[in-house]
Chain A
Amino acid sequence: MATEKTMGKPNQQVFSDTLLDLAQNDKDILVVTSDSRGSGKLVAFGETLPEQIVEVGIAEQNLVGLSSGLAAGGKKVFAVSPACFVTIRSLEQVKNDVAYSDRPVCVVGISAGVSYGLLGSTHHAIHDYAVLRCINNIDILAPADNFETEQVLRALVEHPRPAYIRLGKQAMPNLHDPATAIFEIGKAIQVRPGTDLTIISIGEPTPHAVDAADLLAKEGISCRVISMHTLRPFDRDALMDAALNTRAIITVEEHSVNGGLGELCASTLMQEGIQIPFKIVGFPDEYTINGDQETMFKHYGISGEGLAETARKLLGVRI
Chain B
Amino acid sequence: MNAHELRLKSIAYRKTILEIIHRGGAGHTAGSLSCVDILNVLYNHIMNITPENFNKINRDHYIQSKGHSVEALYTVLADQGFYSRDELLEGLNQNYSKFIGHPTRKVPGIEHNTGALGHGLSVSVGLALAGKLNGYTYRVFTLLGDGELAEGSSWEASMSAAHYKLDNLVVIVDRNTLQITGRTEEVNGLEPLADKFTAFGYAVRQIDGNNVEALADLLGTVPFEVGKPSLLLANTVKGKGVSYMEDQKAWHHKVPTDEQLATALAELDAARLELEGIR
* A residues with CB within 8 A of B: 30, 51, 54, 56-57, 59, 61-62, 64-75, 92-93, 96-97, 100-102
Q: Verify B157–A72 contact, CB threshold 8 A.
A: no
Q: A65 and B129 in contact (CB under 8 A), knowing A72-B111, A96-B113?
A: no
B residues less than 8 Å from A102 (CB atoms): 105
**How far in angstroms is the closest Cβ of chain A from B202?**
16
Indicate which residue in B105, B128, B153 contacts A101 across the interface (CB closer than 8 Å).
B105
B149 within 8 Å of A by Cβ? no
In the complex, residue of chain A having the shortest beta-carbon distance to the beta carbon of B61: A72
A-B contact sample (6 more), CB < 8 A, given A66-B129, A74-B130, A97-B113? A30-B133, A56-B160, A59-B156, A68-B122, A69-B130, A74-B134
Indicate which residue in A69, A74, A96, A100 contacts B128 across the interface (CB closer than 8 Å).
A69
Indicate which residue in A67, A73, A93 contacts B131 across the interface (CB closer than 8 Å).
A73
* B residues with CB within 8 A of A: 57, 61, 105, 111-116, 118-119, 121-131, 133-134, 136, 140, 152-153, 156-157, 159-160, 164
B residues less than 8 Å from A57 (CB atoms): 159-160
Give 9 CB contacts A-B under 8 Å: A59-B160, A61-B122, A64-B122, A66-B125, A66-B129, A66-B157, A66-B160, A96-B116, A100-B113
Q: Verify A97–B130 contact, CB threshold 8 A.
A: no
Q: A54 and B129 in contact (CB under 8 A), knowing A61-B153, A66-B122, A97-B122?
A: yes
A residues less than 8 Å from B159 (CB atoms): 57, 59, 62
B residues less than 8 Å from A96 (CB atoms): 113-116, 119
Q: Verify A62–B133 contact, CB threshold 8 A.
A: no
B residues less than 8 Å from A30 (CB atoms): 133
A residues less than 8 Å from B105 (CB atoms): 101-102
Q: Verify A73–B115 contact, CB threshold 8 A.
A: no
Indicate which residue in B114, B116, B127, B156 contacts A73 across the interface (CB closer than 8 Å).
B127
Bound complex: CA A265 to CA B156 (Å) = 40
Q: Verify A62–B122 contact, CB threshold 8 A.
A: yes
Q: Verify A51–B133 contact, CB threshold 8 A.
A: yes
B residues less than 8 Å from A74 (CB atoms): 57, 130, 134
A residues less than 8 Å from B121 (CB atoms): 65
A residues less than 8 Å from B153 (CB atoms): 59, 61-62, 65, 93
A residues less than 8 Å from B112 (CB atoms): 68, 72, 97, 101
**How far in angstroms is the closest Cβ of chain A from B60?**
13
Q: Verify B126–A93 contact, CB threshold 8 A.
A: no
Indicate which residue in A75, A92, A100, A101 contacts B130 across the interface (CB closer than 8 Å).
A75
Bound complex: CA A59 to CA B154 (Å) = 11
In the complex, residue of chain A having the shortest beta-carbon distance to the beta carbon of B164: A54
Residue among B123, B156, B159 with most chain A CB within 10 A: B123
